[in-house]
Structure 1
Amino acid sequence: MLKKYFRNYDYSLIVTTMLLTGFGVIMVYSASMVWSVMVLHQSSSYIFKRQLFWCFIAIAAGIIGMLIPYKMYKALVKPITIITILLLVFVLFFGTVSNNAQSWIDIGPIQLQPSEIAKLAVIIYLASVFSNKQSFISDFKTGVMPPLVMILLIFLLIAVQPDLGTAMIIAGISGVVILCSGMRTKHLMWLFGLAVAAILAMSLLMLTHVQAGRFTAAYKPFTVASTNGLQLINSYIAIASGGITGKGLGQSIEKAGFLPEPHTDFIMAIIAEELGLIGVLFVILCLAFLVFKGFVIGIRCKDVFGSLLAIGIAGNIAIQTFINLGAMSGLLPVTGVTLPFVSYGGTSLVMMMFTMGVLVNISAFVNIKRKKHKDQEERNIANTAN
């Protein structure tokens, strides 16, 4: 049985994911060498070794995601959702604070970020709910409102950490899945209006002083060049100095104490400086390919749950990439959102790899169905000819 799935996996997804992950480990090493010594007072390979450790766990998670039939998640949607909510509540009371957000749970020497788990949990939840509600999806009260209440709860639990970047990703993922759920256009317009109103209200009521300062840093960085604007300005310098081919791997100047935490959400600036436009395009094209393949798999999947699951996974990668690149280029305020598969971060890498495993598993089911359909058509043609 397993051999049949192995033959039908979309190996272009696996190869692209591994290329990105391997490239990310190399760039984390390059970007973090000076930071490990100057700030953490450890060896130059300290952060690299931690990322390499997480990389092996992530590969194992990806394999597990590939092997588990995706339809099992529909049966497990209730415990997955409940556990996710409990983790988000737990982190609010007992979590560890880092970068002004209480988003992590310490488990011995490692840190777990429940909001990364919540991204996949939301995709599974919405895919399950809307696949069950297809017969009455046009009924706003019974088909649309109940899942929105659950998503709002998860959104708020993450927003009050405060982690507005991940909260906006949750909102974006939800929007992508809802848009493809078969809902009436009128209801979609209502939801869009509600979402805009909710974002404005949240900006007025929940935005902290630190978060408000990030808007100034994003759109007027040179007015706060010595404080909030420092990171973006040095990102600009890194991007501008890289040119087409870059200064060479390991040759970045900005990582030497100028660009804060260059191995995390601003790692693309170091890629631009060291590998130039070529390195940047490599990452963007690889990520774009994963998103494209995810949507193609979702469109081809005849099972509504599998289709929405694949579309949600592709949407997650697209939205997270857009927010990360928007922050490092000054298009959006800095939110601390990592670049998928590339930035330093254990929970993010493991969950991203697991979701790609799920997507590869869906691709196997799609390919098997397509081959069966093709064989049946050929048999029908042969029977007709005879």
Structure 2
Amino acid sequence: MLHKLKDYDYTLIITPILLAAFGLVMIYSASMVFAVVQGQPANHYLIQQAVRFAMGLVGFIICCVFPYRYYQKLIKPIILGVILLLIGVLLFGSTVNNAQSWFLGIQPAEFAKLGIIMYLASVYSKKQEYIREFSRAVLPPLVITGVILALIVLQPDIGTASIVFLIACSVIFSSGIRFKHLSLLIFIGVVFLLLALPYMATDERLTRFTGAYQPFETPDSHGYQLIQSYVAIGNGGLTGEGLGQSVQKLGYLTEAHTDFIMAIVAEELGFIGVVIVIGLLAIIVLRGIFISRKAKDSFGALLAIGISSMVGIQAFINLGAISGLLPITGVPLPFVSYGGSSLLVLLISMGILNNIAMHIKKREMEPAEEKQNNRHISQTYRGGRSWHNSNRSTKY
């Protein structure tokens, strides 16, 4: 049964769709020259992203209507499907940009983000009665989390693995565990990182650090992309050069439509455009946190905090990369960068978040409606009683 339109959170409808639509405009602007150089039509990447946008809108609408509590019943096939897809990537996946991350036309690691949110929210919501017991409540779900992280690292996709790890930390922290248990988890994470460091610390990855923090020492190689990002941001100034007028997208900033699209936004729309985009992303994150605080059940609360943290963490890592605050990891800017799997997962997540908000609003409306109905019944009862008494007085 379709719910009344008034029950939906229009902030979570308008904001992500507006960002995604803006992303289509910027992808076309940033990719048209790159597409032509590759022998493709100028609108090649625009059309591909538009198709994913349409698919994402379908998923968004379905998830707005589908009750979020049913995901708890489906959590086993969901998490099993995520693990099988990640294994499929390692066995049969295709390699793009030095990472074997594509399988069946999608990037399963993107779906792993939402899968781990659903899994941890479901498990820890069921363990609330004994959530302060580490070995019984906190530790068991970390085995599945570790398996998913390991499969993503093996691709290797360190950027997505970092996001999944930070999302897991935010959900676990919000579940109500003790501070000493949280400290122990951080210690375990550090040990795991040190053990995995010899595998991850390849020459290619180490150059990302030198390119991020010492870009001008290697301006023609490792620091080139970041320097061109600085040039784009500097060219934009306050109001920008104008939509479509970027110079850096003309072969200087390579693949500008992907994780460096905010540099093109800065160049064409200036500081004002950047602030607007960041502001819209902040609205989504803050709205998700607000919904998590208002949710009446722990599963809805943890699901909302996981989705909002996913958007916030991904945006922070992307913006950190284009500004030199963090190494370049290929993480797309939520809703705006080119990337069909990312956009699809984000729009589905917004549908789930909207469904949680809709249930909160319905529960808040029920007492008021019940009170109004009781008042109406009371008035009817008093009216009938008065009429009855008047008849009695007339009779006697």
User: Same fold by TM-score, threshold 0.5 exceeded?
Assistant: yes
1:148-182 Cα offsets, whole Å, 9 max, x none, are 11101100100111000000000010011011101
Cα pair 2:3 2:65 within 8 Å, conserved: no
Question: Residues of 2 paired with 1:374 and 1:328: CA distance?
Answer: 49
Q: 2:134 aligns with which of 105, 129, 140?
A: 140
Q: CA deviation at 1:382?
A: 10
Question: Residues of 1 paired with 2:225 and 2:356: CA distance?
Answer: 40
Q: What secondary structure, in the 3-state scheme, does the structure 2 residue paired with 1:342 have?
A: coil
Aligned length: 380
Q: CA deviation at 1:375?
A: 4.2
Match of 1:278 in 2: 272
User: Identity over the aligned pairs, expressed in percent?
Assistant: 49
Superposed, 1:235-274 pairs within 5 Å as 235-274=229-268
Q: CA deviation at 1:202?
A: 2.7
Question: Residues of 2 paired with 1:91 and 1:76: CA distance?
Answer: 23
Does residue 311 (structure 1) correspond to residue 310 (structure 2)? The answer is: no
Matched AA of 1:373:
P
Q: CA deviation at 1:380?
A: 8.4
Q: 2:72 aligns with which of 71, 74, 77?
A: 74
Question: Residues of 2 paired with 1:196 and 1:373: CA distance?
Answer: 48
Q: What secondary structure, in the 3-state scheme, does the structure 2 residue paired with 1:102 have?
A: strand
Question: Residues of 2 paired with 1:205 and 1:258: CA distance?
Answer: 32
Cα pair 2:239 2:271 within 8 Å, conserved: yes
Q: What secondary structure, in the 3-state scheme, does the structure 2 residue paired with 1:3 have?
A: coil
Question: Residues of 2 paired with 1:59 and 1:85: CA distance?
Answer: 25
Q: CA deviation at 1:188?
A: 1.1
Match of 1:27 in 2: 26
Q: 1:227 aligns with which of 217, 221, 227?
A: 221
Match of 2:296 in 1: 302
Report the TM-score, using the length of structure 2 for normalisation: 0.93
Does residue 207 (structure 1) correspond to residue 201 (structure 2)? The answer is: yes
Question: Residues of 1 paired with 2:318 and 2:376: CA distance?
Answer: 53
Q: CA deviation at 1:361?
A: 0.6
Q: What secondary structure, in the 3-state scheme, does the structure 1 residue paired with 2:3 have?
A: helix
Question: Highest Rg: 1 or 2?
Answer: 2
Superposed, 1:82-161 pairs within 5 Å as 82-105=80-103, 107=104, 111-161=105-155
Q: CA deviation at 1:376?
A: 5.0
- Larger displacement relative to structure 2 (49-58 or 116-125): 49-58
Match of 1:344 in 2: 338
Does residue 41 (structure 1) correspond to residue 35 (structure 2)? The answer is: no
Report the TM-score, using the length of structure 1 for normalisation: 0.95
Q: CA deviation at 1:7?
A: 2.1
Q: CA deviation at 1:377?
A: 6.3
Check 1:137–1:252 CA distance in 2 against 1; reply closer, same or farther (3 A cut).
Answer: same
Q: CA deviation at 1:52?
A: 1.2
Cα pair 2:8 2:357 within 8 Å, conserved: yes
Across the aligned residues of Structure 1 and Structure 2, the Cα RMSD in angstroms comes to: 1.8
Q: What secondary structure, in the 3-state scheme, does the structure 2 residue paired with 1:305 have?
A: helix
- Larger displacement relative to structure 2 (53-62 or 369-378): 369-378
Could you list the runs of 5+ residues in structure 2 that have no partner in the other structure?
A: 383-396
Q: CA deviation at 1:383?
A: 11
Match of 1:164 in 2: 158
Q: CA deviation at 1:142?
A: 1.1
Q: What secondary structure, in the 3-state scheme, does the structure 2 residue paired with 1:112 have?
A: coil
Q: CA deviation at 1:80?
A: 0.3
Question: Residues of 1 paired with 2:203 and 2:155: CA distance?
Answer: 14
Q: CA deviation at 1:42?
A: 1.1
